[in-house]
Chains A and B, each alone.
Chain A
């Protein structure tokens, strides 16, 4: 019993990181119907920002978090302005390929500057409480709680504020909404800032929970988070959160009961089965065909 609870806790930790990254995919998709394949690498950049700030500036946890989030958000907005904006009216795949290119650029640029894996310095005293056979680390609690808080803030912004309303409006209709005086470019920038900022936060938490970071860490995690977004129904913010926790749960449970090398196999097979049963994701709605 304690074992299962322990694994559930691990699943929550991994799932919340996946969910944070998946949010970035799904928000950008919702507003631009574009898959930002560079997002996984922005997550990696977040971890490296955190490393730089903690290593050279010796700041404590909260300033480090805020600074790396801002840094990644800024980078996300710059990428959108320079690389994606010129392609808004181009064929969809051109934007996707550009995103893949930006992702490769970020990976290799980081690799060129930091050829060896890095260790993020300890930012928080990690205390572990033991209850019988169950052990809970403070880090785990912080990762989970912080992710939940960030998601709640995001949900509040999207559902309750004027800017959030503009975001939802643009994802609903791209031709009429700009005519209503909604500043589309600003809203798109804001979406990128929010989405990539969350990705940066996820990068930092990943770096704290699994302390070795390298330039290629964003690829696999990024693709998996993308899968979470799809499982939840791409474009749907709450769906992305659910998808993140599902994949986190599945991966941890598989690793707990099977050899850990089976993890990817089982996770992806489940994904295939789910997509065959529900081709539009858990919260997604099928697009009606118009004839």
Chain B
């Protein structure tokens, strides 16, 4: 038993050293994309499985980005579906009406990026009320935002009004989903373990104290909302081009509820938790599909039971070692070494 645990720690250490190397994430990205491309060209994953994986990826992006606001910053935003809608509509309008049909594949990432940027811009606007309002009242602001987006979309005939928008080609492929998912996880991890991420955490812990400890809370809130909504917009664009059809009702409060459930199922303030939450929720919904309507009776029941027995979700406030940066430990080790040497030199 002792040997086993020491082997485990050994592996963990090596794994950790590997993941913190500069070249790890680029290599991981290339390998993943290569695998996904191979999967779709040689068809060793059937189309149904590919589709599920696409939804898993989109849900991971949504969950990780919402966790930044609801978990790390400790607010309760229910407007994530609104950002998603903005990204979905901008990206779809670009591919359907603006881009030439021949260059769709090439320009697709641009459309997705534009969707993300549009959502980020709106995220910036939503951050402004958060300067003054907190808690339940900010929750209402995000709720109202979500409803306003939906109702504006329903009233613009150019985007199809309540009927929605169609005509998108199926441009969301597994490699692209992998790319955007890995990118969002990487960027949000980088943010969380930076100066600004510590600022986000300190706002959750004690906003007044954090302001008094020189944290520019407004700047931090803007960064958090912009990054979070950017990735929600990206997910929206991918979603629209996976389904090839969108309408305003898809992005109502129920969609936000779905994302909230994935966040709290996985656990707040945890990237690994968000990934686990999104994967479990998406796959469970698929597995239970034969149950028909009763599937949607069972799922909330399981959620309630989970909350009662594990109120902080699966990984609440904890993080898998894969996502915690090694540099703190390395810096501390080096620092101790240096201190020891200095201590030896001057007895």
Contacts and interface: CB of A to CB of B under 8 A. Distances in A.
Interface of A: 35, 83, 86-87, 90-91, 93-98, 100-105, 107-109, 111-112, 115, 219, 223, 226-227, 230, 234, 259, 261-262, 264-265, 268-269, 271-272, 275-276, 279-280, 289, 291
Contacts of B260: 97, 100
B293 A275 contact: no
Contacts of B250: none
Nearest to B263: A97
18 contacts: A91-B311, A94-B311, A97-B260, A97-B303, A101-B261, A104-B257, A105-B304, A108-B293, A108-B297, A108-B300, A223-B253, A230-B136, A230-B140, A261-B154, A264-B147, A268-B148, A275-B133, A289-B208
Contacts of A265: 148, 151-152, 155
A35 B260 CA distance: 15
Interface of B: 70, 76, 129, 132-133, 136-137, 139-141, 143-145, 147-148, 150-152, 154-155, 162, 208, 253-254, 257, 260-261, 264, 268, 293-294, 296-297, 299-301, 303-304, 307-308, 311-312
Nearest to B71: A93
A94 B312 contact: yes
B76 A102 contact: no
Nearest to A98: B307
Given A230-B136, A268-B148, A101 B304 contact: yes
For the complex of A and B, the 9 pairs showing the least CB-CB separation, nearest first, are A90-B311, A94-B311, A108-B296, A104-B300, A105-B300, A101-B303, A265-B151, A264-B151, A101-B300
B151 A268 contact: yes
Interface of A is mostly: helix
B304 A219 contact: no
Q: Choose among B139, B150, B154, B307 the residue with the greatest number of A CB atoms under 10 Å from its CB.
A: B307
A227 B148 CA distance: 14
Given A35-B136, A83-B304, A227-B140, 8 more contacts: A108-B297, A108-B300, A265-B148, A272-B129, A272-B141, A275-B133, A275-B137, A275-B140
